[in-house]
């Protein structure tokens, strides 16, 4: 590994890890708080599903826009502004008085978080050696899943100590602190950083700095990324089902109280921490040994999807809280094995447009974030069966495995010749 864990490149990566953790805590805290605000605001499960998904509408729109502005203006400015927006939205959630104001707060949370991951990918493109891309994406998303795992016990503790509204005030303040730290430490050009060493700079790719007049070949890039986007939609369906309904699943399926549900949920979501880390490391090691991006990226993703399907079978057959916890742990583990290679693929295919390309890919997950929680809530309200949404996610896992063969990360993006296109039009 060429990345220096305790050098400037490593510190930037740890800052991004912290951001990934905070963003996921701020977006899934409503899952743990749902039992409290559902009663106080008089909501049903379908309406709670709308609350879960409300942030995903602007989040979906700003995937591509966010990736573009990250490429254009640079991660320092873009991530600082984004963090301040999502921090204020988190604070505002503590003041809501009904469904409408809750949806507005969640909308602005999605607005702030929409550009974060594509822009962070742009930052990693310039601050991470090519050989460590899978690890960088894996460890940052592992931090996100650590945030997921910590959220149930953390928010439960904050709710007990400061009420559910107070928990949002505290989490919003933490996000503001991160924004200030990022603006102070990060530089778009690694060479401009006063603590970076010549040895570190020598390991980094030369992609050019943010360009005020960048021209993205939208149509060609969108077509090239379309298979990747669909595969990531399948992954996102599973992800958002887990993040939205797992805490309440344990409460309603097994009658456990909120404290025990928080513990079971944390165990389940901790599987993602392990999966994210291993997925990125395995992908990079396969690339180092074989030099084949298809083996290193696509094969790992396929194993992940098949692992989801097989892991969730026991919980459907044996109605036990222990079996359910183990099944969901391994299901989430295999789901997150996909993350490192998936987020490395946009950098493999189109490193020059990595922010935009990763934004195009993440629209798949963002779309899933809109429909998966709502459909899950509707199924639960209609049937009273909390297992059926997870059975549906098994079907999406098989679709993801099948379509993963179409991603072809070994084929770099061939940028259209603008002069030839101009001549063809004339």
The answer to whether the CB of 159 falls within 8 A of the CB of 36 is yes
Distances (CA, A) of 282 to 185, 276, 333: 30, 10, 14
> CB 398: neighbour CB atoms within 10 A?
14
Which two three-digit tokens encode residue 365? 């997950």
Sign of CA dihedral 76, 17, 258, 335: positive
Weakly modelled stretches of the chain, pLDDT under 70: 1-4, 206-214, 415-426
Half-sphere exposure of 122 (CA within 13 A, CB side): 35
Q: How many H-runs (helices) and E-runs (strands) does the chain carry?
A: 17, 0
Q: What is the pLDDT of residue 419?
A: 46
The answer to whether the CB of 378 falls within 8 A of the CB of 49 is yes
Helix (H) or strand (E) holding 173: helix 133-185
Q: What's the rounded Cα separation, in Å, for the pair 200 and 191? A: 10
If you search the block for the tokens 């909501």, which residue do you land on?
A: 43
Say which residues have a Cβ less than 8 Å from residue 274's Cβ, sequence separation at least 6.
142, 333, 336
Which two three-digit tokens encode residue 333? 């583990």
Q: How far is CA 412 from the centre of its chain?
A: 24
Q: Can you spell out the DSSP letters for 177-211?
A: HHHHHHHHH--SSGGG-TT--HHHHHHS-------
* pLDDT tens string 145-160: 888 778 888 988 999 9
Say which residues have a Cβ less than 8 Å from residue 100's Cβ, sequence separation at least 6.
none
74 φ/ψ sector (left φ>0, alpha ψ -120 to 50, else beta): left
* pLDDT tens string 350-392: 877 877 888 889 889 888 888 888 888 888 888 888 888 888 8
Q: Can you spell out the DSSP letters for 145-170?
A: HHHHHHHHHHHHHHHHHHHHHHHHHH
Q: What is the pLDDT of residue 21?
A: 93
The answer to whether the CB of 43 falls within 8 A of the CB of 37 is yes
Nearest to 391 by CA among 313, 305, 335, 302: 313
Sign of CA dihedral 63, 64, 65, 66: positive
Q: What is the pLDDT of residue 175?
A: 95
Q: What is the pLDDT of residue 301?
A: 95
For 338-387, where are the alpha helices, taking DSSP H only?
Answer: 339-349, 354-383
Q: What is the pLDDT of residue 413?
A: 79
> CB 145: neighbour CB atoms within 10 A?
29
Q: What's the rounded Cα separation, in Å, for the pair 168 and 101? A: 14
207-246: burial string, b at 16+ Cβ within 10 Å, e else: eeebeeebebbeeebbebbebbbbbbbbbbbbbbbbbbbb
Say which residues have a Cβ less than 8 Å from residue 178's Cβ, sequence separation at least 6.
18, 19, 22, 83
Domain spanning 8-188+218-413: CATH superfamily: MFS general substrate transporter like domains (1.20.1250.20)
DSSP summary character for residue 406: G
Q: What's the rounded Cα separation, in Å, for the pair 11 and 292? A: 30
Nearest to 416 by CA among 372, 350, 354, 356: 350
Which two three-digit tokens encode residue 424? 């063809």
């Amino acid at each position: 590994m060429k990345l220096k864990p305790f050098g400037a490149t490593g510190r930037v990566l740890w800052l991004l890890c912290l951001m990934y953790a905070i963003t996921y805590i701020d977006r899934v805290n409503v899952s743990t708080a749902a039992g409290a605000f559902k009663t106080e605001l008089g909501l049903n499960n379908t309406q709670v599903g709308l609350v879960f998904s409300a942030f995903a509408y602007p989040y979906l729109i700003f995937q591509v826009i966010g990736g573009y502005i990250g490429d254009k203006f640079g991660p320092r400015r873009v991530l600082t502004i984004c963090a301040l927006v999502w921090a204020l939205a988190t604070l505002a959630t503590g003041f809501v008085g009904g469904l409408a104001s809750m949806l507005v707060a969640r909308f602005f949370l999605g607005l702030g978080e929409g550009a974060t991951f594509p822009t962070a990918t742009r930052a990693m493109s310039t601050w991470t050696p090519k050989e460590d891309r899978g690890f960088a994406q894996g460890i940052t998303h592992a931090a996100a899943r650590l945030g997921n795992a910590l959220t149930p016990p953390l928010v439960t503790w904050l709710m007990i100590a400061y009420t559910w509204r107070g928990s949002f005030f505290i989490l919003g303040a933490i996000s503001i602190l991160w924004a200030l730290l990022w603006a102070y430490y990060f530089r778009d050009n690694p060479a401009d950083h006063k603590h970076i060493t010549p040895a570190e700079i020598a390991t980094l790719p030369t992609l050019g700095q943010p360009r005020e007049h960048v021209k993205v070949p939208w149509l060609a890039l969108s077509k090239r990324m379309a298979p990747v986007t669909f595969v990531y939609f399948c992954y996102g369906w599973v992800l958002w089902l887990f993040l939205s309904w797992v805490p309440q699943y344990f409460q309603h399926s097994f009658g456990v109280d909120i404290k025990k549900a928080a513990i079971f949920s944390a165990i389940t979501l901790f599987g993602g921490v392990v999966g994210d880390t291993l997925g990125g490391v395995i992908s990079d090691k396969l690339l180092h040994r074989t030099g084949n991006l298809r083996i290193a990226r696509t094969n790992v993703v396929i194993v992940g999807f098949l692992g989801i399907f097989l892991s969730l079978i026991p919980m459907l057959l044996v109605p036990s809280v222990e079996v359910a916890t183990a099944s969901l742990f391994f299901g989430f583990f295999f789901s997150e094995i996909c993350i490192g290679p998936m987020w490395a693929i946009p950098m493999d295919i189109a490193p020059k447009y990595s922010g935009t390309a990763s934004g195009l890919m993440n629209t798949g997950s963002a779309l899933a974030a809109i429909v998966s929680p709502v459909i899950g809530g509707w199924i639960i309200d209609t049937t009273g069966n909390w297992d059926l949404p997870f059975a549906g996610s098994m079907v999406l896992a098989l679709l993801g495995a099948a379509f993963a063969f179409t991603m072809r990360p070994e084929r770099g993006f061939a940028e259209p010749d603008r002069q030839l296109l101009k001549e063809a039009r004339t």
